[in-house]
Chains A and B, each alone.
Chain A
Amino acid sequence: MPIIDAGKAAVKTLLYHGEKMRVEIAMELEKWKNLTWEGYLRKDKRIGIRNKVLVVYTVECASHVAREIVGKVNLADVEVIGFAGCTDNEYAIRLLLALVTHPNVGAVLAVGLGCEYTRADRLAAAAAGQGREAGHLFIQENGGTPGSIRKGVEMVCDMMERLKNTPRASMGFSDLVVGAECGGSDFTSGLAGNVVVGKFYDMLEEMGGTPVFEEIVEAVGLKNLLLQRAADEKARQELNFTYEKALDYCRSVRQYSVSPGNFAGGLTTIEEKSMGAFAKSGTKPIRGVLKVAMMPPKKGLWLLDSTPDPHFMQFGITNPNDNEGLMDLISCGCHLTILVTGRGNVTGSAVAPVVKLTGNHDTYLRMKEDMDFDAGPVLEGEKSAEEMAEELGQYIGRVCAGQRTKGEILGHKEYCIPYKYQDRGVALHNCALSAGRLQNIHSKP
C-alpha cells in the first residue's frame, strides 16, 4: 500500500476506535443512573448512607465529657456534635432534633451537665421516638467527669453492638437528598464548579431525586431569573418573599455577600457573584423554599433559606461560616452535601459526607488529599460540563455505597450550631419588612 493510503487507513481506524470508545464511555456513564446500594433502614422508614452514633452535648460545660467519650471509643462513625449555649433557642433545638433523627444516624447519646436549659433527656426521647437507639446522661448525676465518661463509653459501646443488626434496604438516586453550597469561591466557581453541580442537579431531578441548594443572599440581582423558575404560584410567592427578605437585610446593613477576597479575585459586583452561585441550581423548576430543619415535602429541586428572619436579622451575620451552611442542608435530610470551593475549603461534617469539588485545577493539584473532584477540565476545554456531571454522579454513587470521601478519610467531623432566629416555615404575610415592597404578599390572608 502506498504510504499515503496507509496513513489514511490508519487515521480511519483511529477515528473508528475513537468513535467506538466515545460511545462506550457514554454507555458506561449512563449506567450510574441505575445504580443501587444497600442503605441503613431506620424504624421510621428513612434510609441512610452511613450508620452513625452521635454523642450530643447540650451546653459547652458538657463538651469535654462528650469529646472524651468519643475519643475513648475511637471509631470512625462515632461523632460528637453539640450546642454551646446554656440558654436554649428554638432554632438550635429544631436543628439538634433534625440531626439526632437524621437518616445517617442510628444511635444518639445526649450528654447534659444538668443545670442548662437544653434538655438532654428530651433530645434522647425524640431520637427514640423515631426508632433510634438512644440514651442520655447528666454529668452532675453520674460522678462528675470520670464517672460520666465511663458510663458514656459503656452506653456507646452497647449502642454500637445493637447497630450491627441494622437492617439494610436497597436505595437509588431517586431516594437521595443532596445539598450544595459554595465556599472559598474564586473565579472558577461560577465558570466550572457550580456549572458542573448544576448539570448534575438537572440529572438528579430527572432521576426522581431531591437536590437542595442554598444561599439566597447570593441571588441578589437575579429576582426575575429566580421567580421564573418557580414550579407553581405558591413557590413563586415563597421565592419572592425570601428574595425580598434577603435584599432588605443587605440594604439595611449596607453589606452584600461579597468579600474583599472576591473583589481582589476579579468579581466586581454582587450580581456577577450571584450568577455564578445560582448556576449550581441547574435549570429545573424550584418546588419551593425550605427553612432549616424542614424536610422537603416532595421530591424535586428546593431552595433552602438559612438566613435569619426579621427583625432579628439585625442580630447579625446571615451565615457564620461554610460549615454552618452544610449543617443547615443536612438538617433538611440531605444524605450528603457538595461543597464547591475554588480556593480550597477543607471542611467536612459529623453527620453526612461532604464531597468537595473545585473548578480550579491548580487548587486540585495543591490540595489533592482534600479535594474529591476536579471540575477544572471544563475550563481546560478537555471535557464538557455534562461529561463532568456524569463523572460526579458516578463518584457520588460510590460514596453512597460506602466509599469514604477525602474529608472522611482525613477525619473531618466539623459541626456548627449557633443561636439564630428563624420562623418555622416561610412566613410570607407575618413579617413586617420595609413598607410597600411586599404589599401584594402582605395583603394575602
Chain B
Amino acid sequence: MEKRKARAFQIEPQDNVATALTPIPMGGFTLLCGGTESTAEASEEIPQGHKVAVRPVRKGGAVIKYGIPIGEATADIEAGQWVHLHCMKSGYDERSSGLDIHTGEAGDISYTLTKE
C-alpha cells in the first residue's frame, strides 16, 4: 500500500471536516470515509493530524467531527480549507482562542523577568 499518498479520514458521513493522515499539499488528495475512497481538493497546505473542510461552513455554524459539533466557525470556511484555531473556537475553552495557531503556544503568560 502506498502510505505516503496524501490522504484524509472522515469519521462520519455528516462530518464537515476530515483529519489529514499525511501532510496534504495544495491540490488533490484521497478522502477516506466508511470504507470508501473519493478525491477532494485542498486549497492550501494541511499539516498531518489537522483538519480539512470537506464542505463549506458559514460563520457561526457548527464544525462537525465524530458526528457532533466540536466547535463554532468564527469565519466562513470553504471546502478544502485548513480548519483550526484561526477559523473556529471551542464552546467551552476561551483560553485556546488566543493560542498560536501553529505551535499552540500560549501568549497570555509573561516570560519577562520581574525587575525591582
Contact = CB atoms under 8 A, between A and B. Distances in A.
B85 A263 contact: yes
B19 A380 contact: no
B99 A272 contact: no
A270 interface: yes
Contact of A270 (B83, B85, B90, B99): B90
Interface string B60-88: 00010110111100000000000111001
Given A256-B96, A271-B90, A380-B1, A266 B21 contact: no
A271 B66 CA distance: 10
B89 A187 contact: no
A191 B12 CA distance: 11
B68 A258 contact: no
A283 interface: no
A434 to B, nearest CB: 15
B92 A275 contact: no
B9 A191 contact: yes
Contacts of A254: 94-95
Determine the interface band of chain A, counting residues with CB < 8 A from chain B: 35 or more
A264 interface: yes
B82 to A, nearest CB: 10
A271 B20 CA distance: 18
B72 to A, nearest CB: 9
A271 B3 contact: no
B48 interface: yes
B67 to A, nearest CB: 9
A49 B43 CA distance: 54
A266 B49 CA distance: 5
A379 B69 CA distance: 23
B93 A187 contact: no
B49 A186 contact: yes
Contacts, number: 105
B2 to A, nearest CB: 10
A262 interface: yes
B44 interface: no
Contact of A266 (B19, B66, B88, B95): B19
A381 interface: yes
Contact of B85 (A250, A251, A268, A380): A268
A131 B64 CA distance: 54
A250 B95 CA distance: 11
A262 B21 contact: no
B6 interface: no
B69, B85, B92 interface centre (most CB from chain A within 10 Å): B92
Contacts of A270: 90, 92-93, 96
B48 A266 contact: yes
A256 B104 contact: no
Contact of A187 (B48, B90, B96): B48
B47 A258 contact: no
A261 to B, nearest CB: 7
A430 interface: no
Given A259-B104, A268-B84, A268-B88, A187 B95 contact: no
A275 B68 contact: yes
Nearest to B11: A191
A143 interface: no
A419 to B, nearest CB: 26
Contacts of A247: 92
A191 B19 contact: yes
B96 A225 contact: no
Task: From A263, A276, A379, name the one whose CB has the most chain B CB atoms within 10 angstroms.
Answer: A263
A265 interface: yes
B18 to A, nearest CB: 10
A247 B90 CA distance: 14
6 contacts: A256-B93, A263-B104, A266-B48, A271-B69, A272-B65, A275-B68
- 4 A-B pairs with the lowest CB-CB distances in the bound complex, closest first: A263-B104, A187-B49, A266-B49, A260-B104
Given A258-B93, A262-B104, A269-B89, 14 more contacts: A221-B70, A263-B85, A263-B104, A264-B104, A266-B51, A268-B90, A272-B71, A275-B65, A275-B68, A276-B66, A279-B66, A379-B9, A380-B1, A380-B3
